Amino acid sequence: MIEPVVLAAAGAAVVLDVAGPGLPRVVHWGADPGPLDEVDLRALVTAAGGAVPSTTGGPIQPVGSMPLLPTQWDGYAGRPGVTGDRAGRWPFLRLARAGAVTVADNTVVAEAVDETAGVRVRCELRLDAHGVLHVQHTLTNVGCTDAWTVAALRTLLPIPEQATEILDFTGRWGLERVPQRRPLGNGTHARESRRGRTGHDATPLLIAGTPGFEFARGEVWAVHIGWSGGHEEYAERISGSTAVLGGGELLEPGEVRLEPGASYTTPVGFFAWSGDGLDGVRDRFHRMIRDRAGHPRTPRPLTLNVWEAVYFDHDLDRLTRLADLAATVGVERFVLDDGWFPGRRDDTAGLGDWVVDPTVWPDGLHPLVDHVRGLGMRFGLWFEPEMVNPDSRLAREHPEWILASPGRLPREHRHQHVLDVARPEVADYLFTAIDALVTEYALDYLKWDHNRDLLEAAPDGVAGVHRQTAAVYGLLDRIRARHPGLEIESCASGGGRVDLGILARTDRVWTSDSNDALDRQQIQRWTGLLLPPELMGSHVGPSPAHTTWRSAGLPFRTATALVGHAGIEWDISTCTPEELDTLREWATLYKRLRPILHSGRTVDGDVYGVVTDDAAVFVHTQLDNAPELRPRRVRLPGLAPDRRYRVTRCWGADAALPPDGVTLTGRALGTVGLELPWLRPEQAIVLEVSAA
């Protein structure tokens, strides 16, 4: 008898029934059931049930367990795991096991084939040390004569009956990651993006959970699709069937057409379960991301980006004065944004011509770069390589390089079009141009922007978002291989390209184009469910904010920017001496606290906090008017229960704890809490916690 397979790590587990003739069936995904002998495992599989006849005359429905790629042959009436056709034939696959299921290093690999349809699939599940399940499938056309067109190949897992609520996120430019919550009833809740990039309205995680789940309470199951092109995430409960959570690349008709012998591999579907609410899922993803080989290991430098200071008005004297002030404040990296290339006095011209404008910079960027480096700061530069303005030398010389069908130019947006990076000559041009600038100026950092959706992306009349996304990944990989010390930020009009596909090749994201601290509180909180703070660019902007014209005090703005990869996006030459002094003190505080903020476990609830073994930082905010006039009692979660901690106010509103701080056990701070000073709307207090 073939025994079931259990993958377990960090309190999570997936149990697979591998005894059948098809692909393994997922019996359980969730809490680790603990040590099980062979009899226990067989009983668990039996208890999960099998296919039962429908009492209404419908098809046989699977209950209790589900194959890795469910199809109608399995009696599944929901979205199938795999769909496609061979010139309109064989749309329904019957996948039979091909070879033995292999299990090694907490990874299961299984293959199956439909000989008649000429399709073979390979499914891989790996449960990492942090309890995140990585699921990826490959489909190969093993037919001898003609092409197989892939319509969908999805990664999905069953979720139990008690997962009755779902949480996901929507948004827009300048206000990403807006939460929305609803019941999960019968039917399909799908989030689909056809934007050609992740999207400002994309959900970083699609989460299902037990009723009323919160940050520190409830069971939750979550999925993230690590892909920057078209994508889907969905939760589905079909009457008589097991509910599922899953997703994959969203393919347009005819987009992936496999000739005989060719293969298509899905993006990785990242799945995480937690018995400790949203904090538990977040902790698994943060640990997984920080464990990547390419994760930034050095302290995240305090950054000044000049965009909201000068926009397109590039002037050497003005920029060197900004650099001088930035150095006195404590800035460690100076980034020159849009406007340094020919004709770029506004956003209507110049994109694609990646050389320094000799009329604005007659000596190149060297005077500014040398000045910045002489002040002890690193230097970064803005690019938007995937785009082109019609008013540019590149567009005039190579109109065929625009991502478009012949004679069917897509609508312009922001006076620009998309370059067809999948054309080898386009990728070579971009690589050569970027490599030349990185080499000449020894750039430390690229801000890589992407300011429009892909519309009607169909070179030669064939849908092309898939190959465009893969080509951009390839270009980034090529640049990183040539310049291994170069750091790259993923920006897409702010937070429009935030996913683990692009972050496998970049070092942080620009979380939003909005530096409005009130909006940033929500944007950063929810983006942080997936990403650890050190990957989220978070800058102090001016007041009023350039995107919303909302005014906020400097203590609130700096406290908000503190809890990410901090920086400044402000013409600090307009600051008063008092404001500059505040920025200096804040910069010193950021450098002192970033070892905690960028390594600890993030917790949420009464306050936002980051906790390590010996220390913690908590940010208490008042975002709106409160009916109470008395101070709030606030609990500080995540601390070691029996350890004593000293709590002091280190930043924020003019409200103080007792002069010598407060010393209590972690248990008392987490259950009883502290009565913190009363705050007005849009005020914050930052608390530093250290072992007593």
114 carries an active-site annotation: no
Which tokens in the block code for residue 173? 């430019």
Q: In this structure, is the dihedral angle defined by the CA atoms of residues 675, 677, 678 and 680, taken in order, positive or negative?
A: negative
Q: In this structure, is the dihedral angle defined by the CA atoms of residues 590, 596, 601 and 607, taken in order, positive or negative?
A: negative
Which of 189, 169, 179 lies closest to 243, judged by CA? 189
- How far, in Å, CA of 542 to CA of 573, rounded? 11
Q: Burial code of 209-238, b = ≥16 C-beta within 10 A, e = fewer?
A: bbeebebbbbbbbbbbbbbbbbbbbbbbbb
Which of 60, 61, 73 lies closest to 22, judged by CA? 73
Q: In this structure, is the dihedral angle defined by the CA atoms of residues 61, 67, 68 and 69, taken in order, positive or negative?
A: negative
**Torsion of Cα atoms, 393 then 398 then 399 then 404, to 10°:** -130
- Rounded to the nearest 10 degrees, the angle between the axes of helix 577-597 and helix 554-562 is 20
Which of 265, 16, 276, 243 lies closest to 140, judged by CA? 265
**At a CB cut-off of 8 Å and minimum separation 6, what does 224 contact?**
204, 205, 206, 233, 269, 270, 285, 499, 500, 530
Are 205 and 224 in contact by the 8 Å Cβ rule? The answer is: yes
Are 26 and 61 in contact by the 8 Å Cβ rule? The answer is: no
Are 216 and 279 in contact by the 8 Å Cβ rule? The answer is: yes
606 carries an active-site annotation: no
**At a CB cut-off of 8 Å and minimum separation 6, what does 49 contact?**
63, 64, 65
Q: Which of 128, 337, 449, 604 is catalytic?
A: 449
**At a CB cut-off of 8 Å and minimum separation 6, what does 349 contact?**
343, 389, 391, 392, 415
Which tokens in the block code for residue 550? 């909302």
- How far, in Å, CA of 279 to CA of 270, rounded? 17
- Which secondary-structure segment (H or E) carries 121? strand 119-127
β-strand partners of 647:
662, 689
Q: Which of 513, 516, 519, 606 is catalytic?
A: 513
Helices (H), 306-457: 307-310, 316-329, 366-374, 393-397, 424-441
What positions carry a catalytic annotation? 449, 513
